[in-house]
A = this chain, B = another copy of it.
Amino acid sequence: VRRAKPAVPGPRAVTLKQFAAHARVHASTESRALNPATRRLVADDLAKKIQATAATLGFRPNAAAASLRTGRSHLVGVLLPDISNPVFSPILSGITEALSFGGYSTIVADVGEDVDRQLRLIDDLRARRVDGFILATVHRDDRVVSYCLERNIRVVLVNRSERRPRVSAAVSDDEFGIELAMDHLVKLGHRAIGHLAAPARLSTGYRRLQSFKTVVARLEQNGKLCHLLEADAVSREAGAVAARAMLAERPDLTAIIAANDLLALGTYDALRELKLKCPEDVSVVGHNDMPLADLVSPPLTTVHIGCREMGGEAAQLLIAEIAEPGALKRNVVVRPTLTVRSSTAPPRGR
């Protein structure tokens, strides 16, 4: 951190005291009238009058002073692994909407996968006395979560979750999503299906992979027809690398289920290189239905997740956690659906 110039202090704003004097009431009364939690302590008509003048004159009490006094900030930190992954737009949008409805502002940090950086950011935001965190970054066994738990920091998870249910989380039903994808492909006639998994350290990678195995077993078909490969990262590039490797080893595959849309797009890249056509030669299914998934070529068949909804649920979970830190941890699971577009078709020769 570099601090270039000594930053001139901003203009001092009107204080509660000044404003109260103007309205001919005591600062305490003013404070009580303006705070939703204490408003009922003030005579109803007086409270209304105070709120009205505050609204018209645009007076807002200094949040830093309030925070110093109360130990709470109405600020929430959100840690994202990769803001340029379009799937986080609707998640973030759902989070901020629900939080702002609850009176909270959101500080977003794009921290990447580096756990030490994540920890540093947690400390930065803790110095700001944020009331809690929403993590979209967690591994199945996450040091950041441990760190928060040890320090009594309120935290919930979104999209990804941990192996152990130590904290509340809002996630999609990963197993069911893969079932939807598999059912769809099997109905189309595919038998040699590959799964391009996300790293197993991520719940989305792990659980979708497990589900794939389960479904393969349940179908009682020849498991050898299917194939598995884990990508090194969640990105288009990692998807391309993994898909290339998978198709090199198993050129007989007629369909690939990617653990998410970015990996699916990487698969597109690999297919293009290999001069294979999608869906004619290989069908591809994604996961998440991120914005623009309908516009890529071919439009991507993918497991649709209600991301805004999931973000909103995570926000609610955090608000509940802040209100009652000891309460039981909850797991909110949103049910995905399959959005069929043009990247899937019956296999060649049918």
Chain A residues in the interface with B (C-beta under 8 A): 1-13, 36-37, 58, 60-65, 67-68, 70-73, 75, 83-84, 86, 89-90, 92-93, 96-97, 100-103, 105-110, 123-129, 131, 151-154, 265, 268, 291-292, 295-299, 319-320, 322-325
Contact between A129 and B64, CB atoms less than 8 A apart: yes
What are 27 A-B contacts with C-beta separation under 8 Å? A1-B36, A1-B100, A2-B36, A2-B102, A3-B103, A4-B102, A5-B320, A5-B323, A6-B37, A6-B323, A7-B72, A8-B324, A9-B70, A13-B126, A61-B127, A63-B129, A64-B64, A64-B67, A64-B73, A68-B68, A75-B128, A83-B89, A106-B107, A108-B108, A265-B295, A296-B297, A297-B298
Residues of B within 8 A of A7 (CB): 72, 131, 322-323
Interface pair A92/B83, CB less than 8 Å apart: yes
**Are A291 and B64 CB-contacts (below 8 A) given A37-B6, A102-B4?**
no
A130 to chain B, nearest CB (A): 9
Complex Cα distance, B129 from A5, in Å, reads 19
Q: Assess the A1–B110 pair: CB atoms within 8 A.
A: no
Extra pairs beyond A9-B72, A63-B129, A83-B93 (11, CB < 8 Å): A5-B319, A7-B322, A8-B325, A10-B153, A58-B123, A64-B64, A68-B68, A75-B128, A93-B110, A265-B292, A295-B297
Q: In the bound complex, do residue A124 and residue B105 qualify as a contact, i.e. CB atoms below 8 Å apart?
A: yes
The residue in A62, A64, A324 that gathers the most chain B C-beta atoms within 10 A of its C-beta is A64
How far is B83's CA from A97's CA once the two chains are assembled, in angstroms? 12
| A63 contact from B90, B128, B299, Cβ within 8 A | B128
Chain B residues whose CB sits within 8 angstroms of the CB of A265 once the complex forms: 292, 295
Q: Are A103 and B1 in contact (CB under 8 A)?
A: yes
Q: Give Cα A65 to B73, complex, Å.
A: 11
A10 touching B129 in the complex, CB below 8 Å, given contacts A68-B68, A108-B106, A268-B295 = yes
Question: Closest 3 CB pairs between A and B?
Answer: A297-B297, A5-B323, A60-B127
Residues of B within 8 A of A68 (CB): 62, 64-65, 68
Residue of B nearest to A3 (CB): B36
Contacts of A105 in B (CB 8 A): 107, 109, 124-125, 128
Q: How far is the CB of A267 from chain B (nearest CB, A)?
A: 12
A300 to B88 Cα, complex, angstroms = 23
- Tell me the minimal C-beta distance from A143 to chain B in angstroms: 14
- Across the interface, which residues of B come within 8 angstroms of A123, CB to CB? 58, 60
Q: What separation, in Å, do the CA atoms of A109 and B106 have in the docked complex?
A: 8
